Structure 1
């Protein structure tokens, strides 16, 4: 009797499992656009996890898929569990009604497929149940925010036919680990993959011409990039901001960019475009040919502790070293211009030595540098200061200048609000212990320093920064 009961229970359980699996997985051929919902019962709609579709689908079908994947037409959550969606055998066609709407002020914006073979704007926006997705093989474009906020998406198969990818296409797909971009793609649009924190590598299309602003911003795991192709014309600001890229490489026949030791330059090596923020190097020597450091070039270079700005450098652009790990830096440059917020949020920066003339320092250049305690100006003229260049709070800032410039600096710091608050003092540079000769050295006409500003013997091997008693500063290699 018990054996018979057990057998019946097992049989019942097996039938339930089969029934459950049949509901979890389904293959549907849509005979007529707009009729997907007729082929999925109400009991299946929110229980199917794996769906394969063939045939033509329109706006009404997309709405059904959105609801199955966790979002309704207004973006509100549903009970949908659709995690695996295979549309490779389907074709998206225009019209069929709206699949998404959003209120903007007093107006409501509606979204529906406008063209055939287009993954239209907001099509799967915030469908958080989706994990894997295969797009139709006929797809030509992926419009703005098409998959933005699909926080569970780990894989999306994009066909080679896709030539256009609009802004925010995959923004904040936090679990997207890899993406194969079609070779027909010529532009990676603004914020296309911004916030994809699990993305570890990217292979660039062979015909790529442009990487727009913030394309991979905050992809904090992105460490490996393929070679930038010869077709690439432009990389906009913050394209790789706050990533873990360890090196940049460029095709030899690219006319606009080149790379050396993992650092990206313009073709003539006059401007540093991007330093790999994931590099493990603690110091970097800027080539003598470089005259400019581009915006955000060294941003988030957390391992970079020391750097020397060469004599020929004329411009450090805004935000150039934002959030870098610098502890100290020395500038040998003459008439150097430092842009707005150039060294902002360098929270480990303690010492700055300007051994050459400084033309100007922009607003907030050293904002939020919590440990900055010493800044030395060796030049015989005062720079043109912006507002709140320094923002000392917990640590008192000591600014060392030529004795005859002390009053001028004090007046500028007060009248131009060069420093926020009163946690600073202007001091005679001869008391700083580095920039001028001591009494004991009064009989010599020059003093030798290393690239970090430490006094060394004239016989020490390596790069010497030599300061003469008349204020001149030169570099010399001692072998």
Structure 2
């Protein structure tokens, strides 16, 4: 009995070592540099990359039109198949800045609804990041959207917990419900001034989010939009008159320590509204223009992000600017 047990332990150890070596070898086989694929026709990405290299790429840039067939393939490269099951995909960085989403091709996702016992298939539409497009692709860390995208669909990036960087282009007008819910790796979000609506729970559960800038172009924010963003330390808004909201938008946010920054001379209006859930409300100069900058003797000497990182040029979001006379200003760059 003793001999059998020792043999069993030995064999188990051998298999574990071999398994680790196999995984290590597979990781060593990954292609980490950015690979750029140019498509002359939508629906041809699978043919361009092929099945052998499909799961080896970690950093992909696509140039040209993509449809549902391409998006299905991209999902598989990012770790999820058409039914939401896991794949061997390892893609972490996706650059679609020179791509264009078009209608056509296969459905990229099929959702089974147990309550109705039916499958709903999702297809691409022109210039739309569709519903559930990258849901639960937790290995994705960075996504750059096509510059032509006008809307981000419901649950498009829900559960992408590894996502740390998202660049939302100025062409986007709407962010769908739960679009980024559960993206716990995101640390800051600057919503472009083109956006007019933010859906319910759009950023709920983004616990790593520390700063949010909401432009005055936004006319509606759904309930629980930022619920559970427990790491928030600053929220910047620029409406001269507070936007009407439900207080649930910031449920489970530490509103005792998080600072709400509002335009100059609007403190009372915000304090009296549902924005008054924040204990700390501070006024700031939305335009970044005041007496200090009109003086020819006063010059900007340094500029920083809200996280204290030195900025070489004005960057979207809140910039902290130091001037030669010793003054410091908080400026929102749209």
Q: Settle same-fold status: TM greater than 0.5.
A: yes
**Alignment-derived partner of residue 200 in structure 2:** 190
Q: Greater RCO between the two (CA within 8 Å, min separation 6)?
A: 2
Unaligned runs of 5+ in 1: 1-15, 267-271, 280-479
Shift of 1:274: 2.9
2:38 alignment partner, one of 29, 32, 41: 29
Kindly indicate whether residue 67 of structure 2 is the aligned counterpart of residue 55 of structure 1.
no
The residue matched to 2:111 in structure 1 has which SS? strand
Q: Is 1:112 the equivalent of 2:123?
A: yes
Match of 1:93 among 102, 117, 122: 102
Q: Secondary structure at the match of 1:108?
A: strand
| 2:91 aligned to which of 82, 104, 108 | 82
- Contact map agreement 1:223 1:243 (CA 8 A) in 2: no
Partner of residue 183, structure 2 = 173
**Partner SS for 1:110:** strand
Deviations along 1:8-43, one digit per CA (max 9) or x if unpaired, are xxxxxxxx9xx9575753110011100001111222
Q: 1:94 to 1:123 in 2, by over 3 A?
A: same
CA deviation profile, 1:119-156 (whole Å, cap 9, x unmatched) = 01011111111000000001101010010011100011
Q: Which has the higher helix share?
A: 2
Query: In the alignment, which residue of structure 1 is the partner of 2:271?
Result: 264
Is contact 1:57-1:90 (8 Å) kept? Answer: yes
Which structure has the greater CA radius of gyration?
Answer: 1
Give me the whole-angstrom Cα distance separating, in 1, the residues matched to 2:157 and 2:46. 22
Structure 2 Cα separation of the partners of residues 243 and 149 of structure 1: 19
Instruction: Give every structure 1 segment of 4 or more consecutive aligned residues whose post-TM-superposition deviation is greater than 6 Å.
Output: none
1:64-79 correspondence to structure 2 within 5 Å:
64-79=73-88
Deviation of 1:248 after TM superposition, in Å, equals 2.6
1:240 pairs with 2:242: no
Match of 2:174 among 147, 164, 184: 164
Q: Could you tell me which residue of structure 1 aligns to residue 278 of structure 2?
A: 276
> Displacement of 1:230 after TM fit?
2.6
Q: Which residue is 2:211 aligned to? A: 201
Query: Structure 1, residues 239-271: CA drift from partner, whole Å, max 9, x if none?
Result: 111113423343358xxxx534x97313xxxxx
Residue 223 of structure 1 and its aligned partner are, at CA, apart by: 1.2
Q: Distance in 2 between matches of 1:128 and 1:168?
A: 15
Q: Unaligned regions of 5+ residues in structure 2, if any? A: 1-24, 282-334
RMSD: 2.3
- Aligned equivalents of 2:242, 2:108: Cα separation in 1: 36
Distance 1:122 1:231, change over 3 A: farther
Alpha-carbon distance between aligned partners in 2 of 1:23 and 1:154, rounded to the nearest angstrom? 18
Instruction: Supply the distance in 2 between the matched residues of 1:145 and 1:191 (Cα, whole angstroms).
Output: 10
Q: Is residue 83–residue 109 contact of structure 2 (8 Å, CA) maintained in 1?
A: yes
Say if 1:50 and 1:84, in contact at 8 Å, map to a contact too.
Answer: yes
Q: Say whether 1:129 aligns with 2:139.
A: yes
TM-score by length of 2: 0.70
What whole-Å deviation, never above 9, does each CA across 1:396-429 have from its counterpart, x for those lacking one? Answer: xxxxxxxxxxxxxxxxxxxxxxxxxxxxxxxxxx
Task: Tell me the distance in 2 between the aligned counterparts of 1:120 and 1:154.
Answer: 20
- Contact 2:79–2:89 (CA under 8 A) maintained in structure 1: yes
Change in Cα spacing, 1:109 to 1:84, as seen in structure 2 (3 Å) is same
Given the two structures, how large is their TM-score scaled by the length of structure 1?
0.50
**Inter-partner Cα distance in structure 2 for 1:228 and 1:237:** 18
Count of residue pairs brought into register by the alignment = 251
Q: How many Å separate the matches in 1 of 2:203 and 2:139?
A: 19
Give, in angstroms, the shift of residue 197 of structure 1. 0.3
